[in-house]
Amino acid sequence: MATFGQIIFYSLVTLIVIFAAIIIMVLVLAFTSKTYTSTGSVMSSNTKPITNISEDVLLSCNLHAVLQDKFSDMSVTWQKDQNRVVYRFQKGAPELSDQASEFKGRARMSPDDIISGNASLLLRSVRSSDAGEYTCSIQSSYGSGKVTVYLRTAAYSTPTFTFSDGSLTAEASRWFPKPTVKWQNETGSFLGGNMTFSTSSSGLFTAVSTLQPVSAEYLYTCTVQNELVAAVSEVMITGSVVNQRNYFSFSVASPLLSSLCLNMMTTLLSIYCVA
Ligand X SMILES: *[C@@H]1O[C@H](CO)[C@@H](O)[C@H](O)[C@H]1NC(C)=O
Cis peptide leading into 255, omega within 30 of 0?
Answer: no
DSSP states along 14-52? HHHHHHHHHHHHHHHHIIIIIIT---TTEE-S-SS-EEE
Which parts of this chain interact with ligand X (CB under 6 A)?
A: 52, 54-55, 58, 62, 110, 113, 118, 120, 156-157, 167, 174, 185-187, 189, 194, 210, 212
- CA–CA gap between residue 140 and residue 43 (Å, rounded): 15
If DSSP codes are grouped into helix, strand and coil, which group holds residue 153? strand
Q: What is the DSSP string of 55-104?
A: S-EEE--EE--TT----TT-EEEEEETTTEEEEEEETTEE--TTB-GGGT
- What single letter denotes the amino acid at residue 261? C
**CB 259: neighbour CB atoms within 10 A?**
12
Nearest residue (CB) to ligand X, 139 versus 185: 185
Nearest approach, Cβ of 58 to ligand X (angstroms)?
6
Tell the smallest beta-carbon distance from residue 185 to ligand X (Å): 4
Separation between Cα atoms, residue 82 and residue 80, nearest integer Å: 5
Task: Note whether 78 and 135 are within 8 A (CB).
Answer: yes
At closest approach, how far in Å is the CB of 109 from ligand X? 7
Q: Could you give the CA distance from residue 1 to residue 26 in angstroms, rounded to a whole number? A: 37
Cα 19 → chain centroid: 27
For ligand X, the closer CB: 54 or 206: 54
Our CB check for ligand X shows the closer of 167 and 254 to be 167
CB of 273 to ligand X, least distance (A): 26
